[in-house]
């Protein structure tokens, strides 16, 4: 399954947010992989709009598994101040509805 979400990074914290994500803790990256997060990307627009994309078999299960880990608790505590509205951004991000996907294979009929 593919999931896409959006958050709003505070404009005055965008530079630091980008810097933090250039060196995500190795143990945080390992935890994401171990709990089923795949092909995870974040995209940041100049006004602070953050779009996230992740693939997971079951996003809710992956989120719950991450929530139980100390490394995630520490990471989320450090990241909460970057977002408009504050709070743990790994639990409350609004998912976007997929309206189109170009698959890898051709859907041609003979």
Residues labelled catalytic? 21
The encoded tokens of residue 79 equal 């990241």
End-to-end CA distance of the chain: 29
Would you say 36 and 48 are in contact if contact means Cβ atoms under 8 Å apart?
Answer: no
Structure tokens at 13: 């914290």
């Amino acid at each position: 399954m593919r999931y896409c979400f959006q958050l709003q990074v505070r404009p005055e914290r965008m530079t630091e947010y980008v810097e933090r994500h250039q060196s995500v803790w190795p143990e945080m990256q390992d935890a994401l992989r171990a709990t089923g997060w795949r092909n995870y990307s974040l995209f940041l627009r100049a006004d602070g709009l953050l779009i996230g994309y992740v693939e997971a078999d079951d996003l809710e299960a992956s989120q719950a598994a991450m929530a139980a880990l100390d490394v995630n608790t520490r990471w989320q505590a450090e990241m909460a101040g970057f977002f408009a509205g504050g709070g743990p951004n790994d639990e409350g991000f609004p998912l976007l509805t997929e309206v189109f996907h170009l698959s890898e294979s051709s859907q041609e009929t003979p």
